[in-house]
Amino acid sequence: MSPGLQELIQNRFSPVPVEDIPRYFRVYTEDGSRLLRSDEEPLNRARLGETFQDQVMAVELLDGSHVVLRARGAPLLGEDGAVQGGFVLFDDITAQRAQVERQNALRDRLVETVNHELRTPLTALLGHAEMLEDLVPQLPGWAATSLDRVLEAGERLSDLVRSVSALVDLEEVGHVHPAEHDLVPLLKRCVDDATAKRPCHGVVVTAPPTLMAMVDERLLARSLNALLVNALQHGPPGAPVHLTARQTNAGIEVTVEDRGAGISRAERERLVMPFERGVEGLTARPGRGLGLAVARSVAEAHGGGLELHDNEPNGLRAVLRLPSPVHRA
């Protein structure tokens, strides 16, 4: 054990039997829920011939506090190829982990505020704006145009609140209530909803007559709507979006393809996290991030996933995968 590591964990090293390591070094799992077993100890893993990286653990210090370490290790081999020992390198990531936890706590408070505090005033705003719609024939042209802008912005904000609410709900898998459904009618309803306010775009649907899946229909509709709206918003006017649904050996695959600018590979993983936006999100047009986060969260809550790929010759291809329903005799 290097002097630096001994100083970091406040423990002077002396040889101990392998089975006694947990008694002398209080090393916990990443979430701190339990002590590592002997076979999970990074040095033992290396000594037993395993090569590994990015094992994260929490080490309890003498004063009761903890440091968070990331380890990578490998066995030491003799000339005959036999394992002679092992070595492990540690990185202290305590500060980085604390910063991430602070950011997550701040984001959680923001999400809770958006979810609860904006809903009531937004409902009132939209209600009064819709009442004024009945007076449009009596309004001057500039006022009618302004009212249209208010309604459009209000609907966009309402979509945002619903998306945030969906993400909050999906924090607990218990909010997902799957049942067996035919996805084809659901796909058609989602297309109608997404294109209702975007008459300059069209969606080409390719699907079999029926396509059964075990899903929470309400949440899956949010996911599909998010993918379709993203595709319609970021495709050039007049260019159709393609929606394809099919049965595969692994389950159900729903693909949404647009002809927009696409997303670079470096941005894709970041953009499926909540509240992230692409470079084009700096413009006046809404960014892709929250919708993609909702789509991925819904897919994962169903035991599936969301993949983003380049479309040819340009654009984005989003592939939502769902497990097939299990039939019992």
204 and 70 both lie in a single domain: no
Whether residue 99 is contained in a domain is answered as no
Q: Considering 92, 123, 157, which residue would you say is the last residue of a domain?
A: 92
210 and 307 both lie in a single domain: yes
167-182 mean pLDDT: 71
Print the domain residue range for 16.
3-92
Instruction: Convert the pLDDT of each residue in 208-251 to its tens digit.
Output: 999 998 899 988 998 899 899 888 888 887 788 999 999 998 89
Whether residue 327 is contained in a domain is answered as no
Whether residue 191 is contained in a domain is answered as yes
Q: Considering 92, 124, 157, which residue would you say is the last residue of a domain?
A: 92
The pLDDT of residue 16 is above 80: no
Specify the pLDDT at position 5: 62
In contact, 55 and 42? CB cutoff 8 Å? yes
204 and 298 both lie in a single domain: yes
Specify the pLDDT at position 9: 64
Specify the pLDDT at position 279: 46
Query: What CATH number is attached to the domain comprising 317?
Result: 3.30.565.10
Specify the pLDDT at position 328: 38
C-alpha pair distances (Å), 19 with each of 29, 36, 41, 48? 17, 11, 10, 14
Contacts by 225-228, CB closer than 8 A, 24 or more apart: 225/190, 225/193, 225/194, 226/163, 226/290, 226/291, 226/292, 226/294, 226/295, 227/256, 227/291, 227/292, 227/295, 227/318, 227/320, 228/190, 228/191, 228/194, 228/195, 228/203, 228/256
Specify the pLDDT at position 247: 94
The pLDDT of residue 329 is above 50: no
Question: In angstroms, how far is CA 2 from the centroid of its own chain?
Answer: 39
User: In total, how many domains does the chain have?
Assistant: 3
Instruction: Convert the pLDDT of each residue in 56-115 to its tens digit.
Output: 999 888 777 888 999 999 999 998 989 988 888 989 998 888 888 887 777 777 777 776
Specify the pLDDT at position 108: 74
In contact, 133 and 147? CB cutoff 8 Å? yes
| pTM of the predicted structure, to 2 decimals | 0.56
Whether residue 329 is contained in a domain is answered as no
246-267 mean pLDDT: 86
Q: Considering 116, 140, 169, which residue would you say is the last residue of a domain?
A: 169
227 and 273 both lie in a single domain: yes
Whether residue 328 is contained in a domain is answered as no
When comparing pLDDT for 313 and 44, which is higher?
Answer: 44
300 and 244 both lie in a single domain: yes
182 and 286 both lie in a single domain: yes
152 and 256 both lie in a single domain: no
